[in-house]
A and B are shown apart, each in its own frame.
Chain A
Amino acid sequence: MIHTSRYLLFELIWALPVLALQWVLGWRYLLGTWRLWVPALMALTLYLSLADAVAIQQGIWRFDETALVGLSVGNVPIEEVLFYGLTSAMILQGMVLGWFFLREREAFLGRLAPWRARRRQASLPAEEAHHRQGEGRNRCGGEDEILV
């Protein structure tokens, strides 16, 4: 049983932890945008599986038949269809999460902007005083005068 499921187990062990992590981190965003990424996932899986059929027919790659469960769509093993589904899901979901991460970051920095501006203003008098002190020193015989 395990012998003939080697490819299937190999890809599931590889991909499922990543997908699980993505859902744990950003299930709100993934649920909120499912109307965008689910059709893209289906289209990519279908397209890449069709391309895979051509590659197999052309003999570009081949599989160890003893590692496959034996189900196939045309000449494409079901593991391959699943492979394209899993890889596409990892990338598409990664993109959705990255997109919203960047947006949240921008929004956070935007919310922080007034506070940072206030801090800058508050620190301005002290800085100015320091600056003026330095100017005064120069006027009353600083390094410049000595050099001259």
Chain B
Amino acid sequence: MSYATFVAIFLGLPLALLCVFLRRRLRDGRLWKLMGILVIVALAYMAPWDHLAAVWGLWTWAPLQTWQKKLWAIPLEEYLFCLLETVLAVALMYALLTSRRARLAEQQERRPRA
């Protein structure tokens, strides 16, 4: 299995399912604003760290299972992994924050106590 196939199956697929689940809420600008910020921060924070680990030899990737294109010492699929992991986690958290359970809990909190 190639790294790209792995990313597509284990991150792309659950993300697609989550998008179908969230389809009515996907127009919320707050989701896209926060997702954009968090993706940029995650990639910027991950890349130097991952690069250093690769240079030190803490982990390596099988060259024949990647596209063999690197940015620093990191294969492109690794950036894709980081990006999709962030998007998946953000979408999951958004689904929970806008869930009926969360809204009910908030309403209860706002209701003045007798």
Contact = CB atoms under 8 A, between A and B. Distances in A.
A40 interface: yes
Contacts, number: 101
Contact of B97 (A51, A61, A96): A96
A33 B97 CA distance: 9
B31 to A, nearest CB: 9
Interface in A6-32: 6-7, 10, 14, 18
Contacts of A48: 10, 85
A140 interface: no
A22 B35 CA distance: 17
Contacts of A96: 93, 97
B34 interface: yes
A94 B30 contact: no
A60 B41 CA distance: 26
Interface residue tally of chain B, by bracket?
Answer: 35 or more
Contacts of A35: 105
Interface residues of A, number: 36
Contact of A91 (B14, B38, B56, B102): B38
B59 A54 contact: no
Nearest to A63: B59
B6 interface: yes
Contacts of A51: 6, 10-11
B102 A60 contact: no
A88 B10 contact: no
A146 B2 CA distance: 79
A12 B76 CA distance: 24
Interface string B66-90: 0000000000000000000110111
Contacts of A98: 34, 37-38
Interface of A: 6-7, 10, 14, 18, 33, 35-37, 40, 43-44, 47-48, 51, 54-55, 58-64, 67, 87-88, 90-92, 94-96, 98-99, 102
8 contacts: A14-B49, A36-B102, A37-B93, A47-B14, A62-B62, A88-B85, A91-B85, A96-B97
